[in-house]
């Protein structure tokens, strides 16, 4: 094969790889918080290592989401945290962002997370200062431990500015994404320990 044909073949392979990566789906979600301590969880999956994932809130400043819907601004000051689904271990959070910014997790954000390994992840959206309380999802969030500086009301009190509890979130360039069915971070540890206990019980019965 000539050098020219080799170069053409390489260019074709590169363009196919770029287009395949660029065609990963975009997922848009909207909702509303009723309480300061509310946390919304999402699941998403990456089939391969990626540095092109982009996760962004839109309701603080408003804008147009990935579904071409116009999102109203004046929402709450958002915080995002990312966790491994299999272990519940902390991966990344947006606590370092400026108070006037939306929460963003990407390789191009001011405080970026460059590359995510293939696998399943849990994403959590909460109101600042309700940040992650530890390095595992089972440890919960600041409000769970009484550490968040909210006004003390059980209803939404707009800590950190904003005008309402509505939220909007895009999860871009991932294989699948959905709202998580189990909302409570504390249940993660109980679920894992329960499954381990059940497995041990089954193993004992098999060995008898």
| Residues 62-81 pLDDT 10s | 999 999 999 999 888 899 99
Sheet arrangement for strand 104-106: 26-32, 166-172, 54-57, 104-106
| Residues 80-114 pLDDT 10s | 999 999 999 999 999 999 888 999 999 988 888 88
Distance linking the first and last C-alpha atoms of the chain: 66
State residue 93's pLDDT score. 95
| Residues 30-52 pLDDT 10s | 999 888 888 999 999 999 999 99
CA 136 centroid distance within chain? 14
10 Å Cβ neighbour count for 58? 25
Q: What is the DSSP string of the chain?
A: --HHHHHHHHHHHHHHHHHHHHTS-EEEEEEE-SSTT-EEEEEEEESS-BS--EEEE-TTT-EE-TTSPEEP-----EEEEEEETTT-BEEEE-TTS-TTS--EEESSSSS----B-SEEEEEEEEETT--B-SSBGGG-BGGGGT-S---S-SS---TTS-S-SEEEEEEES-SEEEE-S---THHHHHHHHHHHHHHHHHHHHHH-
Report the phi/psi class of residue 158: left, alpha or beta, with left for phi > 0 and alpha for psi in -120 to 50.
Answer: left
What is the pTM assigned to this prediction?
0.76
Check pLDDT > 60 for residue 195: no
State residue 148's pLDDT score. 67
Ordered by start, the domain boundaries in the chain are: 25-192
- Select from 3.40.50.720, 2.60.120.380, 3.40.30.10, 3.40.50.2000 the CATH code of 25-192: 2.60.120.380
């Amino acid at each position: 094969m000539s050098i020219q044909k080799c170069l053409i073949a390489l260019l074709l392979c590169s363009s196919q790889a770029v287009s395949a990566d660029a065609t990963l789906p975009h997922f848009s979600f909207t909702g509303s918080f009723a309480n300061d301590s509310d946390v919304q969880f999402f699941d998403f999956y990456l089939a391969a290592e990626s540095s092109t994932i982009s996760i962004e809130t839109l309701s603080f400043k408003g804008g147009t989401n990935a579904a071409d819907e116009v999102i109203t601004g004046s929402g709450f000051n958002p915080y995002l945290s990312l966790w491994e689904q299999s272990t519940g271990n902390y991966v990344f959070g947006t606590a370092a962002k400026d108070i006037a910014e939306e929460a963003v997790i990407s390789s191009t954000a001011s405080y970026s997370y460059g590359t995510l390994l293939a696998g399943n992840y849990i994403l959590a959206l909460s109101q600042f200062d309700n940040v992650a309380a530890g390095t595992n999802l089972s440890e919960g969030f600041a409000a769970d431990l009484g550490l968040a500086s909210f006004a003390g009301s059980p209803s939404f009190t707009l800590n950190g500015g904003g005008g309402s509890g509505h939220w909007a979130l895009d999860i871009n360039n991932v294989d699948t994404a959905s709202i998580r069915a189990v909302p409570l971070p504390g249940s993660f540890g109980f679920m894992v320990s329960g499954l381990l206990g059940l497995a041990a019980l089954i193993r004992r019965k098999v060995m008898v």
